Amino acid sequence: MNIWTALVAFVAALLTVAMFVMADWDLPPVKNTQTGYRGTAMVEIDDIERLQASLEANQLPETPWELDTSGPRASEVYENVQVLGHLSSDQFDRLMVSITEWVSPEQGCAYCHNEENLALDDVYTKVVARRMIEMTWAVNEDWMDHVDQTGVTCYTCHRGHPVPQHVWFKEDPPGPTRGWAGYTAGQNTVSIGLTSLQTDPFTTLLGEEGEIRVESLDALPSDHVASIQDTEKTYSLMMHMSGALGVNCTYCHNTRAVQDWEQSTPARMTAWHGIDMVRALNAEHLDPLKPVFPEARLGPLGDVAKVHCTTCHQGVSKPLNGASMLGDYPSLSGAP
């Protein structure tokens, strides 16, 4: 070994030591929870610091005041109350105050109302808000297989933002590139699940009736054929769900038989209903609002903002850590 080789090796060793000693790196404290039989690798590994941060970020807002369900109905007191007229005036007032804090705390009532005449419908967000109340009813009534008794409110998605922070639009599919590279199929642009895959798994899998299962139950199947593109979209969606809920794959699946329902956890069935629910909400409640929104609120392909798993979950397996707000806001639990 000559002197230059020795010097290079010495400098490399110094840099390696400095990288570990001087950098602020540490092994985060983790919590392991076994969820299946030993030997199946079914265990949830949670970063305790991340769990604590998630707990702090998913606190419920305060309730303004106690409800008074007596007295005249809102439809008798106010004009043009189309979906909440069955509430008492006190219930109605408290819900309006709460929705303002949940959705537009900075803009106030003016985000949805003409402040000179609150009964008018000339602000488009008021029309949207009506449809969103109806969508909330639909989730809490029709999708209990996913939301159970916990349910959702406007705050579940909005968290103080007029537009929920986690929504998606259709993406313009990439065309052929110049040169020898040719068609990229959307790859090598955005990393999903630590891999370079297609960038839009949502349009066909959460916006339409796309096929999600790509793994056959039999060896060398002849009647079940899935393309590489279908497989990549499914993988991308699974990685999205894992990140949205802050869980491992084993939260729903048994690693020795990922496709086998009998060896999966109950959470897989809940997730299955969740996928169907998201598709229904996008198709039946959000897409029809396209004519209501101004062009500035539409995506690059002219579609409305749509929901996916992160919209509600935001990094936890149960939105708002499983706390329910419907006890304080029973008027959102279902249509009258």
Number of Cβ atoms within 10 Å of the Cβ of 80: 12
Give 57's Cβ-side CA count (13 Å radius).
13
Three-state secondary-structure class, residue 282: helix
Number of Cβ atoms within 10 Å of the Cβ of 10: 10
Distance CA 167, CA 179 (A): 34
Q: List phi, psi (to 5°) of 270.
A: -60, -40
Which pair of tokens denotes residue 139?
Answer: 């989730």
Q: Please give the pLDDT value at position 19.
A: 67
Q: Please give the pLDDT value at position 40.
A: 72
- For the chain, give percent helix, strand, coil, nearest 5: 45, 5, 50
Distance CA 161, CA 169 (A): 18
Rg over CA atoms, the chain:
25
Can you give the length of the chain in residues?
Answer: 336
295 secondary structure, DSSP code = G
104-108 long-range contacts (CB < 8 A, ≥24 apart) are 104/162, 105/160, 107/162
Nearest to 193 by CA among 236, 249, 229, 232: 236
Counting Cβ atoms within 10 Å, is residue 2 exposed (0-12), middle (13-18) or buried (19+)?
exposed
Q: Are 324 and 147 in contact (CB under 8 A)?
A: no
Say which CATH topology domain 63-160+327-336 has. Answer: Photosynthetic Reaction Center, subunit C; domain 2 (1.10.468)
How far the first Cα of the chain sits from its last, in Å, is 85
Q: Residue 308 is which amino acid?
A: H
Three-state secondary-structure class, residue 45: strand
Q: Which helix (H) or strand (E) holds 237?
A: helix 228-245
What is the mean pLDDT of each successive set of 10 residues along the chain, which is 336 residues long? 72 72 65 77 79 81 88 95 96 96 96 95 96 97 95 96 94 56 55 62 74 73 74 85 90 86 91 94 96 95 94 93 92 92
Q: Say which CATH superfamily domain 166-313 falls into.
A: Photosynthetic Reaction Center, subunit C, domain 2 (1.10.468.10)
Three-state secondary-structure class, residue 99: helix
Question: pTM of the full predicted structure?
Answer: 0.83
322 secondary structure, DSSP code = G
Q: Please give the pLDDT value at position 3.
A: 78
Q: Please give the pLDDT value at position 102.
A: 97
Domain range summary for the chain, segments of one domain joined by +: 26-57, 63-160+327-336, 166-313
Within 8 A by CB and 6+ apart from 79, the residues are 119
Q: Please give the pLDDT value at position 142.
A: 96
44 secondary structure, DSSP code = E
